[in-house]
Amino acid sequence: MTRPLDAIFSPRSVAVVGASRRRDSLGFSLLHNLVVNELNGAIFPVNPQARAIHSLKCYPSVAAIPDPVDLAVIMVPRDLVQGVVEECLAKGVGGLVVITAGFSETGEEGAALERRLRETVRAAGVRMIGPNCMGVINADPAVRLDATFAPTPAQHGAIGFVSQSGALGVAILNVAQDLGVGLTQFVSMGNKADVSGNDLIEHWEDDPETRVIAMYLEAFGNPRRFTEIAKRVTRKKPILVVKSGRTAEGARAATSHTGAIAGTDVTVSAFLDQCGVLRANTIEELFDVARALARCPLPGGFRVGIVTNAGGPGIMATDACVNLGLHMAELSDATRATLRSFLPREASVVNPVDMIASATAEHYARTVAAVLDDPQVDMAMVINVTPILTNPIDVMEAIGAVARERTKPVLAVMMATEEFYDAVKTARDLPPVYHFPESAARVMFLLARYAAWRRRPADLPAPEFDTDDAQVAAILDATPEGYLDPAATFRVLDLYGVPLARWRLARDRDEAAAAAREIGFPVVLKAVAPGLVHKSDVGAVQVDLRGEAELAKAAAEMERRITAAGHPLEAFLVQEMARGGHEVIFGITTDPRFGPLLMFGLGGKYVEVFQDVRFAVTPLDAEEARDVIRGIRGFKLLEGVRGEAGADLELLAEILLRLAQLSQRHPRIRELDINPFLAGHDRANARALDARICIGS
């Protein structure tokens, strides 16, 4: 035994402390699971009240066991756990799993007991899973450890699964069994007093049997360490996560757009994306993806070839792929000629290839081979609607034989009976099979995303910009808490190299007129008033004022309006009237767990309507910044559509990186919005029109 968790996963002897004769108890179920799954090792029930349980000799205490004990599974009442753990350590056990609940999940008293437990095991250098967990499984046929009380056993396979929830653990094992998915190991982590999800990822990192790491998470214990580990491990093997608790972790009343949107679940998705971790929406989807990752090679790109024996499902598949952002491969002339040579005349030999209902297993084999061998194709979805004469198992085997000889993923969609699914679900040498094209398309998309992550250069450094941070700090320090005034806000942005629309502050109408002459008409007039955040809502923005008369009139009316709205006028802001380009938003917000977050999206009024934004956690490298810009739904708008000029995309990425540096070097900035930033086709045509910075205490 060489690795820290080996005593837990591969024990040659297991003590069950708190084993019970009562059939309806957890203490019986767990012992029963160890026995019926035929642990390759000795089992020692411990219970002072019994002589034998489940036909095994029972010991009054751990100390009374004459043999060495690798793993102790503890399920005694809560107040006895500490004593039992100490006894186990005195006995020299190699690892601990504490099933007993009633610790930090119940309040301060339990938390104190849990801290003591952690200190005890850490001082002894022995690892502990739990407390408050469902146990562990190692499905390796050489070990056959099922130290859980779950009714469903695990089949052996290639997926390491860790669940933060014990109750969901039972459901996870059920879904795995239904889908015929095999696991290497399964861990219910419980309260993670000692062993964490991060430890388990590291345990599986170099385990050759575990090809896919899957996690059900409710919260990130230590996001910084997770990032570091996940970025490294996903270079070797995929990590799949279902993250529940889609409510706001960092939700709080936020006046900035960035803060309000960041309070939602998008933050977690951005964070996982940046670590190369794939996020599934449901446990079922997680297993759908995991099956493919365990069985298929990774695709070289996003181009899909579809082969079907019915038109409808082919169209469904095409729609699903295109909607997700996959591309339909364009088959070469040579491929089409090959297909023509053996398919019936009614068949369609463009993608999706429709072989029509008469297709045989042989047709499938030849067609799938031709499509996969086309260099334009990165992966194939093969659809079969069971016709009367062909046996779908023959079709599956034909596809499997072709797929095995190639290095591109093949996913099967079989619209067949449940008997068919039962027959093929555990056949690990066959392609993964799905009920519907939509699920297969989603899996393909995640495979392609993961493959793209693997091709990306690793560990790019975050770029550094030359900035006068002492001056920025001095400006920020002048405001104890709350919003910076507009002049301070613009100066900070200027010091950080964010281009700004020319601006002047004016105390009254005369100064405003002078400012406008200096800037040059047309100008934009805005009111500055304490507590006035969303200016256009109260008529505090007037654009395109073409001369002094217009300006004077606008200023008088604006002053009247905002005073009536309860905002005494402090000053006017006069700005150059900017034209052309795309309104985008940049933002910074801080998350109690993830630290500073960057946001980018379509700006101006579009933020409120479409919320088409992406987030990134810091630090941020140049490629990640580009990913954020490219990742919004409306990216095509920024590229320029219908003859309209596109935005300077490199500049946008650069501004995001500059703001990342600002957020990291000046943690007093709690929120920042630049909205809108008008992005033209080059640097000279790009400028921030409105911004606010909120300082934390």
138 binds, among ligand ADP, Mg ion, none (CB under 5 to 8 A by kind): none
**Residue 395 binds ligand ADP, judged by CB under 6 A:** no
User: The tokens of 43 are what?
Assistant: 């089992």
Q: Is 689 in the site for ligand ADP (CB under 6 A)?
A: yes
Composition of the chain by helix, strand, coil, percent to 5: 40, 20, 40
- Pick the stretch among 342-350, 357-365, 571-579, 607-615 that binds ligand ADP (CB under 6 A): 571-579
Nearer to Mg ion, 257 or 658 (CB): 257
Window contacting ligand ADP (CB under 6 A); options: 310-318, 407-415, 486-494, 531-539: 531-539
DSSP helix/strand/coil, 599: strand
The entry of ligand ADP, Mg ion, none that residue 303 binds, CB within 5 to 8 Å by partner kind? none
Among 22, 122, 534, 683, binds ligand ADP (CB under 6 A): 534
- Residue 501 site contact among Mg ion, ligand ADP, none (CB < 5 to 8 Å, cut-off depends on kind): ligand ADP
598 and 620 Cβ atoms separated by less than 8 Å: yes
Tell me if residue 347 falls in helix, strand or coil. coil
Task: Give the shortest CB-541-to-ligand ADP separation in angstroms.
Answer: 4
Toward Mg ion, which CB reaches closer, 100 or 489?
Answer: 489
Cα separation, 600 vs 266, whole angstroms: 12
Nearer to ligand ADP among residue 11 and residue 680 (C-beta): 680
686-688/669-679 β-pairing: antiparallel
Please identify which residue in 149, 676, 688, 695 interacts with ligand ADP, judged by CB under 6 A: 676
Least Cβ distance, residue 487 to ligand ADP (angstroms): 15
Tokens for 301?
Answer: 């790109």
Binding status of residue 637 toward ligand ADP by CB under 6 A: no
Applying CB under 5 A, which of residues 690, 692, 694, 695 lies at the interface with Mg ion? 690
What are the start-end ranges of the E strands in 416-461?
Answer: 433-434
- What is the nearest approach in angstroms of ligand ADP to the Cβ of residue 611? 16
Q: Is residue 541 at the binding interface for ligand ADP, with CB under 6 A as the rule?
A: yes
- Residue 689: which of ligand ADP, Mg ion, none does it interact with, CB under 5 to 8 A by kind? ligand ADP
326/693 with CB nearer Mg ion: 693
Separation between Cα atoms, residue 188 and residue 148, nearest integer Å: 9
Measure the CA–CA gap between 323 and 437, rounded to whole angstroms: 12
Name which of residues 398 to 457 contact Mg ion (CB under 5 A). none
Residue 399, CB-side half-sphere exposure with 13 Å CA sphere: 31
* Phi, psi (rounded to 5 degrees) for 553: -65, -45
Give helix 223-233 / helix 266-274 axis angle, nearest 10°.
40
> 3-state DSSP call for residue 478?
coil
Are 296 and 411 contacting, i.e. CB atoms less than 8 angstroms apart? yes
Q: Does 501 bind ligand ADP (CB under 6 A)?
A: yes
578 binds, among Mg ion, ligand ADP, none (CB under 5 to 8 A by kind): ligand ADP
Q: What is the dihedral of CA 105, 110, 116, 118, to 10 degrees?
A: -10
Nearer to ligand ADP, 162 or 678 (CB): 678
What are the Cα distances from residue 633, in Å, to 139, 177, 401?
A: 43, 37, 39
Q: Where are the alpha helices (DSSP H) in 153-222?
A: 166-179, 197-205
559 is a site residue for ligand ADP (CB under 6 A): no
Show the tokens assigned to 298: 């990774």
61: left (phi over 0), alpha (psi -120 to 50) or beta: beta
Residue 671 tokens read as 């929120």
DSSP 8-state class, residue 621: -
Q: Output 69 or 602, the one with its CB closest to ligand ADP.
A: 602
How does 629-657 read in b/e, with b if 16+ C-beta sit within 10 Å?
bebbebeebbeeeeeeebbbbebbbbbbb
Closer of 172 and 607 to Mg ion (Cβ): 607
Helix-helix angle 361-373:392-404, to 10 degrees: 30
Partner from ligand ADP, Mg ion, none contacting 604, C-beta within 5 to 8 A by type: ligand ADP
* The one segment of 188-196, 217-225, 414-422, 667-675 that binds Mg ion by CB under 5 A: 667-675
- Considering only 234, 367, 575, 661, the residue that binds ligand ADP (CB under 6 A) is 575
Residue 534's binding partner among ligand ADP, Mg ion, none (Cβ under 5 to 8 angstroms by kind) is ligand ADP
Is residue 675 part of the contact set for Mg ion (CB under 5 A)?
yes
**In the stretch 596-635, what mask flags binding to ligand ADP with x, by CB under 6 A?**
--------x-------------------------------
Pattern 239-258, Mg ion, x by CB under 5 A: --------------------
Question: Choosing among ligand ADP, Mg ion, none, which partner's interface includes residue 372 (Cβ < 5 to 8 Å by kind)?
Answer: none
Is there binding between residue 670 and ligand ADP (CB under 6 A)?
A: no
Q: Which stretch binds ligand ADP (CB under 6 A): 159-167, 424-432, 534-542, 608-616?
A: 534-542
10 Å CB burial of residue 528 (0-12, 13-18, 19+) is: buried
Q: What are 129's two structure tokens?
A: 């899973």
Exactly one of 303, 535, 567, 670 binds ligand ADP (CB under 6 A); which one?
A: 535
| Footprint of Mg ion on 581-610 (CB under 5 A) | none
Query: Would you say 255 and 246 are in contact if contact means Cβ atoms under 8 Å apart?
Result: no
- Under the binding rule (CB under 6 A), the answer on residue 545 touching ligand ADP is no
Window contacting ligand ADP (CB under 6 A); options: 61-69, 78-86, 535-543, 590-598:
535-543
544: alpha, beta or left? (left if phi > 0; alpha if psi -120 to 50):
left
CA neighbor of 243 nearest in space, from 279, 214, 292: 279
* Options 31, 133, 578, 657; binder of ligand ADP; rule CB under 6 A: 578
Catalog residues that contact ligand ADP under the rule CB under 6 A: 501, 524, 526, 534-536, 541, 543, 575, 577-578, 583, 604, 675-676, 689-690
Catalog residues that contact Mg ion under the rule CB under 5 A: 675, 690
